[in-house]
Amino acid sequence: MKLGRLFSIAYIFISITFFFLPIAGMFLFSLFGGEVPHFPFNSYSGRWYSEAITNNDITTGAMNSLLIGLTSATLSVFFGLTSSFLLHRVRIKRPSIYILIVSLPILVPALLVGLGMLILFRQIGLYNNIYAIIIAHVCLCSPLAFVILYMSFSRLDKNVESAALNLGAPIYSVFMRILFPQLKYSMLSSFLLCFLLSINEFIVTWFLGGFVKTLPTEIYGMLGGRINPAIYSIGVLFFIVTSGLLVFLQYSILKKQSLMRKL
């Protein structure tokens, strides 16, 4: 029993160290005051954070990534919500086939998705612009939103919705007053997950974006030749933002679970 417990503690410690040690090193290098980071450090400075924030290419890529992420996440939640609502409220023969078709983009490697969309978009002239990236990200993220919302719909009581409709409530009021309060945390969770997936996506963005600058493609471009120390600052800032969103996501899930237990 003691040996198993020690093994579990050692495994957790090694896993946490393996995950956080590179992040700690990245944070340490981001504070180096010279041009080329090396040990021992001669000076510490926040100059690379200032350069990362004031660099036009980085800020343009960050703003494009933010726009793409927000738009893709919003559209993904909309399509996931409508698909899951359709599947639960309309009788469809063999719904498992429908679920499989909708979930296919998750199963296909991103490299194949990028190549396939590149060939398609070049044929129709939708290439080398931000709209192609948004469409591709929606195709990748909407199945994730569908899975989350589909599971939430399966836990709802259809009788409450049917009673409201029988009493003359319009479908909009039924959704806003009955469905939305029960689905809002699932919608928020799917939105944040789709947003994080979109802003971190590189392969499909690199295939379809062309000269459109996003934060992942800018970071990739900075890795060629001599590494700019500002890349460490970008990584730290990116880690803080994504970690904050994940903490907020976990908080919303726990809050939803506590509310469900009270019902």
For 56-262, CATH number out of 3.30.1360.70, 1.10.3720.10, 3.90.1150.10, 3.30.70.3270 equals 1.10.3720.10
Centre a 10 Å sphere on the Cβ of residue 214 and count the other Cβ atoms it contains. Answer: 27
pTM given for the model: 0.81
| 158, containing H or E segment | helix 158-166
Q: pLDDT tens-digit profile of 63-112?
A: 999 999 999 999 999 999 988 888 877 777 777 787 888 888 788 888 88
Q: pLDDT tens-digit profile of 127-154?
A: 788 999 999 999 889 999 998 898 888 7
Domain ranges of the chain: 56-262
- Report residue 107 as tokens: 């199963």
